[in-house]
């Protein structure tokens, strides 16, 4: 493998964060006096950052139509969600099998590792520390670190520029259409993981360069 930089997605790729996200979402809905949803519904609402998760939960579906929510309503719900997620984040979030060892093997093999998530950046350091990963990544960007988030290629290109690495030497690795499209939009190779959250769609339908059903297979491919 002649590439230098591996850019990883976070939720659904390295960590299974949906149990905590679902608890926070339902805590928000309960606070607002609305009906709660099962984790299997909420899993399909993750991927475009907290704001979209909150809006989808308020309307109870993936597609939020123009005019269905007021900005004030969504702003308030987002603040309630942030508080709830801040209080519980970490307790039920686990790394997927072979991720911890796999990341260390890839780093030891000479790759530079970076993290680009659509999760708000304020929640990221605490989760990284909980897995002892705080020094693994040369660059870490959240969904609100720049004006745009994945599937826009800007966060990926920003990381390449900060690390002075040609995007042609980078690979985007993730579980969702937002990761694969961001990588394709940045003209990078893309590697898909099938076990995460992709709105119920098979990641292979997005035509990543390769796709894997577990993290160990991804590591084998890269070493």
Helix (H) or strand (E) segment spanning residue 163: helix 154-163
56 binds ligand PGA (CB under 6 A): no
175 labeled part of a ligand binding site: yes
Q: Which stretch binds ligand PGA (CB under 6 A): 4-12, 23-31, 127-135, 208-216?
A: 4-12
Please provide the size of the chain in residues: 223
Is 20 designated active site? no
Long-range pairs of 35-40 with CB within 8 A, sequence gap ≥ 24: 35/60
Q: Which stretch binds ligand PGA (CB under 6 A): 35-43, 54-62, 112-120, 212-220?
A: 112-120
- Beta carbon of residue 2, minimum distance to ligand PGA (angstroms, whole number): 27
Burial 49-77 (b: 16+ CB within 10 A, else e): bbbbbbbbbbeeeeebeeeebeeeebeeb
Cα separation, 52 vs 74, whole angstroms: 9
Cα separation, 30 vs 72, whole angstroms: 18
98 labeled part of a ligand binding site: no
Partner from Mg ion, ligand PGA, none binding residue 46, C-beta < 5-8 Å depending on class = ligand PGA
Q: Could you tell me which of 215, 189, 207, 212 has the C-alpha nearest to residue 2?
A: 189
- Beta carbon of residue 49, minimum distance to ligand PGA (angstroms, whole number): 5
155 binds ligand PGA (CB under 6 A): no
**3-state DSSP assignment of residue 69:** coil
Specify the residue, 2 or 63, whose C-beta has the smaller distance to ligand PGA: 63
108 labeled part of a ligand binding site: no
Which of 117, 184, 190, 198 forms a contact with ligand PGA (CB under 6 A)? Answer: 117
48 binds ligand PGA (CB under 6 A): yes
Q: Which residues contact ligand PGA by CB under 6 A?
A: 9-12, 46-49, 53, 117-119, 176
Catalytic residues: 9
């Amino acid at each position: 493998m002649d590439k230098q930089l591996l850019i990883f997605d976070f939720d659904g790729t390295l960590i299974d964060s949906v149990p905590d996200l679902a608890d926070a979402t339902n805590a928000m809905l309960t606070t607002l006096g609305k009906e709660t949803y099962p984790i299997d519904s909420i899993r399909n609402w993750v991927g475009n950052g907290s704001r979209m998760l909150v809006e989808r939960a308020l309307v109870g579906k993936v597609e939020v139509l123009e005019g269905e929510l007021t900005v004030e309503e969504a702003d308030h719900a987002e603040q309630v969600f942030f508080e709830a997620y801040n209080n519980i984040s970490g307790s039920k979030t686990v790394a997927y099998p072979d991720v911890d060892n796999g990341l260390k093997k890839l780093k030891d093999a000479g790759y530079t590792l970076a993290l680009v998530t659509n999760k708000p950046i304020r929640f990221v350091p605490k989760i990284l520390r909980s897995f002892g990963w705080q020094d693994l990544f040369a660059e870490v960007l959240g969904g609100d670190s720049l004006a745009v988030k994945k599937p826009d290629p800007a966060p990926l290109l920003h990381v390449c520029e900060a690390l002075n690495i040609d995007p042609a030497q980078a690979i985007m690795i993730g579980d969702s259409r937002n990761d694969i499209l961001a990588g394709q939009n940045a003209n990078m190779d893309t590697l898909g993981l099938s076990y995460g959250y992709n709105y119920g769609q098979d990641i292979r339908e997005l035509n990543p360069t390769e796709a894997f059903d577990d993290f160990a297979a991804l590591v084998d491919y890269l070493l």
